[in-house]
Amino acid sequence: MAVENPEMHRQLVETCDALERHYRDAQDIEFTVERGKLYVLQTRAAKRSARAAVKMAVDMAEESLITREEALLRVEPGQISQLLFPRINAEAKEQAQQDGRLLGMGLGASPGGVTGSVTFTADAAVSLESKGLAVILVRPETTADDIHGMIAAAGLLTSRGGATSHAAVVARGIGKPCVTGAESVNVYPAEGYFQCGGVTVKAGDEISMDGATG
């Protein structure tokens, strides 16, 4: 838009700035352009990650749009805990995608980045963890029978389920990174491997996952 219609882009930027200053918060704006005229259809507070919430609050406080006290209130208590979890470097993730090493995506069900050896049973997770190894428990979905392995694992990956699945709820409760609903991951626990995008990953192979982004 900045290239094809610089004047309209200028108007949009000015409108966005005005709305942000009026509402004193980052905005998610829907707009349309008809017959060379800009129309704002609706605006609402933009959704944001914990890290983005902190940056936005700090930026707005520095611009005197909000007070420091208001800035503190812009970050929810539940978001603070997300900032304490390990994260996978964004550049490393982008490089993995460019190199074709990104196996698949799922739902980020419980935040945290982790690297570990793949295992497919709860008992194996407990055994490997007792030897000091970081393991990622991979299951089609988890049940109450997997609890001991979930506690022992450094991270959890399931091919089914969502934000309210057993794996997601338990993972958040015990503070473990978790990705659920990774539908492209075909898990074969009895055979000890999973396949994703033509790649076969066996028990003992090392993978990384990000429970915040999926």
Please give the span between the terminal C-alpha atoms of the chain, in angstroms, as a whole number: 31
Q: Which of 41-50, 106-115, 157-166, 176-185 has the lowest mean pLDDT?
A: 41-50
Q: Which of 19-28, 127-136, 150-159, 202-211 has the lowest mean pLDDT?
A: 19-28
- 113-119 vs 135-139, strand pairing mode: parallel
Q: How far apart are CA 70 and CA 62, in angstroms?
A: 12
Q: At residue 129, does pLDDT exceed 70?
A: yes
Count the neighbouring beta carbons within 10 Å of the beta carbon of residue 86: 13
Hey, what amino acid is at 126?
A: V
Q: Fold for domain 6-83?
A: D-amino Acid Aminotransferase; Chain A, domain 1 (3.30.470)
User: Is the Cβ–Cβ distance between 50 and 79 less than 8 Å?
Assistant: yes
Q: What are 39's two structure tokens?
A: 């129309």
Output the six-digit token pair for 106: 């799922």
Q: Which two tokens stand for residue 204?
A: 């003992």
Domain spans, the chain? 6-83, 90-210
Task: Choose which CATH entry (3.40.50.2000, 3.40.50.10710, 3.50.30.10, 3.40.640.10) describes domain 90-210.
Answer: 3.50.30.10
